[in-house]
Chain A
Amino acid sequence: MSSTVAERRTSLSGKLLRWSCLLYLGIVLVFPLGGVVVKAVSAGPSKIWAEVTNPFAWHAIMLSLGTAVVMVLISVFTGTATAWVLARYEFPGKGLVNALVDLPFAVPTIVTGLMLVALFGPTSTLGVVLSGFGTPVIYEQSGIVLALLFVCFPFVVRSVQPVLENLDPAEEEAAATMGASRWMIFRRVTLPALFPSIVSGAGLSFSRALGEFGSVVMVAGNRPMSTKTAPLYVYGEVEGFNMEGALAVSLVLLTCSLLSMIAASKWAERQG
């Protein structure tokens, strides 16, 4: 006699466990989510739409989307290059670099912001030099991109690196035997194999970047219509007790980051 899954369904302790877990999930996650939906519905779609299209909110949303896109475009290149170098070459300090790649995941975001201000800020040598060239980074929109680059650095590296390490060298060697140049091999053989992992890393980065708060708070300067991203806008509205405004922008952000996460994982699944 073997006890099957269906049989276990009837066990009382199993049911008790299930319901207590679901209750916990409800209190922490599902009921708050439901509360947001109820609040949004009771405010009415026209009120929500008005809050979203308010120029300050709209600018914040566009700024978040724009900085996230710029970050992803840069990150895709630097991340793939870093993964490539870590997987393919031996060089002094490789172990240290490999360990420090995960630093942005470990460090609290507010500390990240402080680190960037310490190196690039107006009181540092580098910051003074950058301002001298007329391109200050901290408290500007480029600072937001910098913070997002730091925070999302590991995503593409860590999704491409294992694929690259497990890639069968036979195909590349075959291409080389047939006289393909290194660049040709990379473009026609290696890159197509890496593509799904690059896209999935990019999707995760984008989703994470849209919601990033702690590091951006430190480097952005929080100027409305200039460097105030959507999460900063939401925070500002909560502080000002404009819950509808906060809610409206949150719904837009939430939708965008969920969609990009789902799209990236579905796409990678289909390719892989």
Chain B
Amino acid sequence: MKPSPALQNTMTWPQRFLIGAVLSWFGLLIFGPAVALARRAFAPGMGAFFEALTDPDAIQALLLTLKITVVVTISNTIFGIGMAVVLVRQRFWGRRIVDGLLDLPFAVSPVIAGLMLIILYGPKSEIGSRLESIGFPIVYHLPGMILAGMFVTLPLVVRSVAPILEEIGSDQEDVASTLGADWWTTFRRITLPTIRWGVAYGAALVVARSLGEFGALLVVSGNIIGRTQTATLYVHDQIESFDPHGAYVMSIVLATVSFCILVGLETVQNRVRQREYAAETNEDDQGAVRQMRRH
């Protein structure tokens, strides 16, 4: 909505002061630190930047982050679609409990998420020690890191798909099954095309979140010297070992990728809103997406 012209034309000095104050605060808190980081990363020149980026440890860390992100995104997207369908289309005992539990990762500190996984799957636990004895250790190894990524991003896809499923209702699906389509055909031909933007949105949030996850990964990867590092752990360890330039460069890469995902989502969402949804439904949809983005 355009600001009301009455308010706009009569901009007084107190209003200008308010705008100035907000912009200064924003500049000091958000913009300034971002610029300061970029300056540190690029200060030694582009040559040094690419040298730090192509450091074997840095590449290794990026590859590990990529690996974790791919696995987490694929499995949580499949789970998210399934869980959303189950929550919206089925009625069963405990449905509300499941619905509430799903939001839990939003309230749990990443460190505590890591602690939970260590207590259940760590080498000292019953399950962890059994799995380790058959050659499948979880905590302090890759499976633990993937599990940590799954934990912190668990609600994202469900919460962006479920509102759309609720919105469209089950009429079309019912028609398809009445006409003799089996559940898989119905899902593939009717449900999936309608929820595809919600799925894409949720999956992109999962990507951004798991690229940047730190606390839970730090806890489940243990404090082992020469451990396999993800990109965020690499940043942490470089700072600890007093080689900040490597950390600055990696940080810039991570921040840029995550921010591009966010801007991309915004653009896609605006386009979808313009094209696909009627004027009335898009408000709800946007609200749901905003709700998601908070996390």
Contact = CB atoms under 8 A, between A and B. Distances in A.
Interface size class of B (residues with CB under 8 A): 35 or more
A72 B194 CA distance: 39
A132 B285 CA distance: 51
Interface string A1-37: 1110110110101100110111011011111111110
A61 interface: no
A104 B30 contact: yes
B137 interface: no
B37 interface: yes
Contacts of B259: 103, 106-107
A202 interface: no
A212 B232 CA distance: 15
Contact of B110 (A99, A211, A261): A211
* Interface-centre pick from A11, A105, A109 (highest chain B CB count, 10 A): A105
B261 A150 contact: no
A21 B214 contact: no
Contacts of B11: 89
B294 A105 contact: yes
Contacts of A246: 115
A105 B293 contact: yes
A122 B218 CA distance: 26
Contacts of B294: 105, 154-155, 158-159, 204
Contacts of A87: 3
B15 A89 contact: yes
Contact of B214 (A31, A214, A234): A214
A115 interface: yes
B187 to A, nearest CB: 10
Contacts of A39: 119
B8 A89 contact: yes
A207 B104 CA distance: 12
Chain A at the B interface: mostly helix, strand, loop or mixed? helix
Interface stretch (B50-58, B159-167, B247-255): B247-255
Contacts of B183: 11, 13-14
Interface in A113-133: 114-116, 118-120, 124
Contacts of B212: 107-111
Nearest to B2: A90
Nearest to A114: B251
A32 B117 contact: yes
B119 A36 contact: yes
A104 B262 CA distance: 11
B9 to A, nearest CB: 11
A118 B263 CA distance: 24
A180 interface: no
A139 interface: no
A9 B90 contact: yes
B279 interface: no
B125 A234 contact: no
Given A25-B83, A104-B30, A243-B119, A9 B154 contact: no
A144 interface: no
B114 interface: yes
A5 B151 contact: no
Contacts of B145: none
A232 B135 CA distance: 32
Contacts of A21: 79, 82-83, 86
Interface string B53-90: 00000000000000000000001000100110110011
Nearest to B112: A250
Nearest to A28: B150
A74 to B, nearest CB: 10
A70 interface: no
Given A32-B116, A35-B119, A35-B125, A234 B29 contact: no
B40 interface: yes
A85 B19 contact: yes
A100 B37 CA distance: 15
A107 B258 contact: yes
A218 interface: yes
B156 interface: no
A1 B117 CA distance: 48
A78 B105 contact: no
A4 B232 CA distance: 48
A162 B30 contact: no
Contacts of B266: 99, 102
Interface of A: 1-3, 5-6, 8-9, 11, 13-14, 17-18, 20-22, 24-25, 27-36, 39, 78, 81-82, 84-85, 87-91, 93, 97, 99-112, 114-116, 118-120, 124, 146, 149-150, 153-155, 158-159, 162, 165-166, 169, 173, 204, 207, 210-214, 217-218, 231, 234-235, 238-239, 243, 246-247, 250, 253-254, 257-258, 261
11 contacts: A32-B121, A89-B8, A107-B259, A108-B214, A109-B215, A110-B251, A114-B239, A119-B33, A207-B106, A213-B110, A231-B215
Given A119-B37, A254-B109, 8 more contacts: A14-B183, A85-B19, A100-B31, A108-B211, A108-B214, A108-B251, A173-B4, A211-B108
* 7 closest residue pairs by CB, A with B: A211-B109, A108-B212, A35-B120, A115-B33, A119-B36, A32-B116, A213-B215
